[in-house]
A and B are shown apart, each in its own frame.
Chain A
Amino acid sequence: MPSPLEIFVTFARVGISGFGGVNFWLRRVLIQEKRWITDAEFLEGFAVGQIIPGPNVYNLSIMIGHRMGGWAGAFAAIAGIMGPPFLVTLALGLLYRRYQALPVLEHAIGGMAAAAAGLVIANGLMLAAALPRRARPWIFLLLGFGGIGILHWPLLYVIAGLGPLATWLAWRDEARRRASR
Chain B
Amino acid sequence: MSAHDIGGLFLHILLLGSVAVGGLSTVMPDIYRYMVDERGLISGREFADAYALAQAAPGPNALWVALVGLQAGGVPGAVASIVAILLPATTFTCIAIALQARRPDAPLALALRRGLAPVAVGFMLASGWVLARSVEHGWPGYALAGATALAVLRTRLNPLVLLALGAAAGVAGLI
Interface residue ranges, A against B (CB under 8 Å): 15-22, 44, 47-59, 62-63, 66, 74, 78, 81-82, 84-86, 88-90, 92-94, 96-97, 100, 104, 107-128, 131, 136-138, 140-146, 148-150, 152, 154-156, 158-159, 162-163, 166-171, 173-175
Contacts and interface: CB of A to CB of B under 8 A. Distances in A.
Contacts of B60: 15, 18, 21-22, 55, 57-58, 81-82, 85
B148 A52 contact: no
B131 A110 contact: no
Of A51, A85, A170, chain B has the most CB atoms within 10 Å of the CB of A51
B131 A144 contact: no
A56 B169 CA distance: 32
B6 interface: no
A141 B115 contact: no
B30 A163 contact: no
Nearest to B30: A155
Of B21, B26, B75, B126, chain A has the most CB atoms within 10 Å of the CB of B126
A54 B92 contact: yes
Contacts of B58: 15-19, 85, 88-89
B33 A154 contact: yes
A142 B126 CA distance: 10
Contact of A166 (B16, B53, B109, B116): B116
30 contacts: A18-B59, A47-B113, A49-B93, A50-B22, A55-B60, A57-B62, A74-B94, A78-B90, A89-B54, A89-B57, A92-B56, A108-B167, A108-B168, A112-B53, A113-B135, A114-B166, A115-B148, A115-B165, A117-B48, A117-B135, A121-B146, A124-B25, A125-B125, A148-B126, A163-B119, A166-B116, A167-B116, A170-B114, A174-B107, A174-B110
B1 interface: no
B59 A15 contact: yes
A54 B20 contact: yes
Nearest to B127: A120
B51 interface: yes
Contacts of A74: 94, 97
B35 interface: no
Contacts of B126: 144-145, 148-150
A21 B61 contact: yes
B80 interface: no
B163 interface: yes
Contact of A111 (B55, B149, B169): B169
A54 B24 contact: yes
A152 B32 CA distance: 10
B121 A124 contact: yes
Contacts of B164: 112
B150 to A, nearest CB: 8
B86 A93 contact: no
Given A82-B59, A89-B66, A116 B118 contact: no
Contacts of B75: 90
A93 B59 contact: no
A93 B67 contact: yes
A84 to B, nearest CB: 7
B60 to A, nearest CB: 5
